Each structure stands twice: as structure tokens, then as C-alpha cells.
Amino acid sequence: MLNSPQDGKEAPLLPPLSPALKGRKCLVLDLDETLVHSSFKLIPQADYVVPVEIEWQWHNVYVIKRPGVDAFLKRMGELYEVVVFTASLSKYADPVLDKLDVHKVVSHRLFRESCYLHKGNYVKDLSQLGRPIGETIILDNSPASYIFHPNNAVPVSSWFNDPHDTELTDMSPFLADLTEVSDIRGVLDGGV
């Protein structure tokens, strides 16, 4: 994990943009409480159960998908280079994403070790991705996650289990429109 943005890294977090995605902006998606909700407590209607080893003991993590997440990911994968950037550990997030990414649209996965620990919060520093900052959007339920780049953020409410939530579906047309904007920071003024 990185401690401050001043550390500077020789290599960006992401490899060069794939030729198949040339011309696309980068959409960074948070995982927990944005796309899914997970719990160690039994959730009878869980979409899947992921076994995770923590301190040499296996625990079941019960995962429910936010309404509309499958169609949302599919659509965003048609428009963007999709990156899931989570402050969670890969041993939990990787198997969740293996099940969640049914359309295979997530180009890259970044985990806690790629975050900066800043004032007790895990911050996702978009300037370290290796993508033009004016073409990088982050969708996250935690404002602390994008504190370095509020003008790149599309805030989303935290989701736990509301079966009537429509936020991802409602957000799709707006995100589709952003693909036509040369510098998204002029649209996303940090106060959306």
C-alpha cells in the first residue's frame, strides 16, 4: 500500500490501453456498496457465497448484487475501459468479481494495495492509473475514496439490500453521455 501521493511510482497501476479499447475513456468502479453488498452474516437471498481465508480460517462471505448491475456492467463495457478499484483485499474481491463479471467487461482489477492510506482512509489516486485524468471517471459510494479527484467523481449512494434501488440503471444514460465529453472534469464539478 502506498502512503502518500508524493511517493511517486515509476510504473502506472494499469498497463497501456489495449488496442481494442483505443479511444475509450476509463471508468473506475468501486465494488462494495456500489456494485454489491457482502456480509459474513448469512444472507438467505445471497446471489453467491464466496469462501475467504482469513488468518488460516475459512469464512463464507454472502454477496448480493445491486439491482441492475449485470445490465449496467454490460453497457459500461460497451462504452468504456472498465476498471474495478476496491479498497478490499484481493482474496475476497477477486472471487466476487469472477462471479460478478459475467460479461467479461472488467479490463483491470485494483485492490487495497493500490490505494493510498490518507488520514485513515483508503484513497484511490486516479493520477496513478496511467490514463489521461480528463478521461477518467470514478463511480464510488465513499467520497473519501476520491478525495484527490472530486472533479472526476460520479457519487453513488451506498447500497446494502434495497431491492427497489434503480441508481445504476438511472446512471447509465448519463455515463453514456460522458463518453462524448472531451474533459469530464468540466461536467463533474465535484458537487454533483
The per-residue pLDDT for range 16-64, each reduced to its tens digit, is: 999 999 999 999 999 999 999 999 999 999 999 999 998 899 999 999 9
Catalytic option among 7, 30, 98, 177: 30
pLDDT tens per residue, range 67-111 = 999 999 999 999 999 999 999 999 999 999 999 999 999 999 999
Model confidence at 192: pLDDT above 50: no
- Among the listed residues 23, 5, 30, 27, the one whose alpha carbon sits nearest the alpha carbon of residue 14: 27
Confidence of residue 3 (pLDDT cuts 50, 70, 90): very low
Which of 165, 162, 158, 161 is closest to 140 using CA atoms?
Answer: 158
Q: Point out the catalytic residue in the list 7, 32, 47, 189.
A: 32
pLDDT for the residue numbered 4: 47
Told to judge if 165 belongs to the known catalytic residues of this protein, a careful annotator would answer no
Average pLDDT over the chain, rounded to an integer: 93
The pLDDT score that the predictor gives to residue 88 is 96
Per-residue pLDDT at 42: 94
Say what the pLDDT of residue 99 is: 96
- 30 given a catalytic annotation: yes
pLDDT of residue 54: 86
Of the candidate CATH numbers 3.90.470.10, 3.40.50.1000, 3.60.20.10, 3.40.50.2300, the domain formed by 23-38+66-183 belongs to 3.40.50.1000
Contact partners, residue 35, CB within 8 Å, separation at least 6 = 29, 65, 66, 69, 73, 84, 100, 168
Give yes or no for residue 12 having a pLDDT over 70.
yes
Evaluate whether 127 touches 6 at the Cβ level (below 8 Å).
no
Instruction: Compute the average pLDDT of residues 137-145.
Output: 97
* Residue 7 in this model has a pLDDT that exceeds 70: no
